[in-house]
Chains A and B, each alone.
Chain A
Amino acid sequence: MAEIRLAKLAHSYGNGTNALKPLDMTWRDGGTYALLGPSGCGKSTMLNIISGLLKPSEGRVLFDGQDVTDKDTGARNIAQVFQVPVIYRSMTVGENLAFPLVCRRVPTPRIKARVEAIAERLGLSRHLNSRAVALTADQKQLISLGRGLVREDVSAVLLDEPLTVIDPQMKFELRKILKDINREFRLTMVLVTHDQNEALTFADTVVVMNHGEVIQAGTPQELFERPATTHVGTFIGSPAMNFLPAVREGDRVLVPGAGLSRTAPADLPTTDLTLAFRPEHAVAGGPLAGTVTRIWFEGADQVLALSVGDASLRIRAVAGAETVGAIVRFDVPQDCLRLYHQGRLVA
């Protein structure tokens, strides 16, 4: 268990492009973190730097204040679970779980006790003597995780899209096990994913990345309420946030033709402005009106696509209330309207 600090960390691969732009970040001991972003955004690069599989071009990695940048992967005491379940195919489940301890020359009785305890915790006890290849994908992922947990002094568990190949019904179960393990063992866990749902339900802190850069790091609530950029607003939440081109007129910013407006901060530029709000924040009835162009069924809710003046946007409403072609009246509370300049949050 350790606090992980990334100090001025940056990485570029041979071709000169920055896979990871310089960043500073501290992950507290026992926390759950999710690195969220599209493919190629640098999240796996960051994970591999932490685990030591990749040496950063610049900066340092510190575990509990101790510099481990030049340390070998094995010496860092990291557990990593990969996208594809990695098992030693010629071994039994028990031998798989024991492997990291055997490599570290732990005495046999101790190994046996640890393997049994971890297998018990992960629900693998009755498979201990089965061949690991014969198990299902989610059980194999548990073995991967178990190989990390079996070491008592493990610094952190790094999860590189571990749920991608798991059946949807097992995903939920496995995510729950991961959360439980985090609570029980007080382990720092870092999850890499491109699935916002996975990130928001798993982590205390979500780090949104794009083009090798950390765009925003915060609690799921913060990311949802105040996305730092239009990219985060689009990436987090379903349906995505509404972004409407706006202009400044005097001390107000407004969306022409839509009737949507808010006060402008004093030093606000006049161009490249966007007003934004979450579909969830629209309330029924009010001064704004739009024509329903499409409806998505979402259980108790429905998502309405509206045409408001020249703009099109989406709001969330109670299911069954509206039909296509109908005029809908709605309002957006002022404290839910966000203002962006050149794609970055201003107010």
Chain B
Amino acid sequence: MIHLQDIRKVFNAGKPNEFVAIKGVNLTIDSHGATALKGPSGSGKTTLLSMLGCMARPTSGRITLKDREITSLPERFLTEIRRETFGFMFQQFNLIKGITALENVMIPAYPKGEKHVSLKKRAMDLLGLLNLADKALSKVEWLSGGEAQRVAIARALINNPPIIIADEPTAHLDTRLSMELIQIMRRFKKDGKTLLIASHDPIVYQSDVIDRIVDMRDGKVVSSGDVP
């Protein structure tokens, strides 16, 4: 589904603090299944994830998504692809403070011009699915860590994307909540979604949800293989 070909990513190119984050990666991600990017911090997991998710462009190399070359697309199209294809979960949750959980979930769909009533219903359904219906009108800063995480998940799902991208999703969760998250991931997979997770947490990459592990170090893929 996603094909990376000789991807390099250089930050601050030409400056004294030039830094090569990704040093030539070739990778193919199939649809339906969960892939974990594993490796120590600084290994380039997040950078690779952001390029997979059409958030950043590689310095060189080609990315194709469903046989469509996307590296050279203008920003407008890239945004549209990102909105339609990917749901994002961030390490810090990145919810917008001061507004309700419900609104946070609806935000990614706002620019699509969907009817408010149906959008709201969809958001409420998602919150209900994640046992958050009674917290819908609470401001996000009043939520517990686990609740905030689930709001972030609902937000990632609002546009019904085929691919979910999660960057260190368990970084701010305790073991119990991490296990809960794995359960939710399992549900996603059953629904036919593709999961892309960057994590150095064994709870994630050693769980049975993960079908394939890509091990990264110093901006390179060290090994990649299916979980037996």
A interacts with B: no
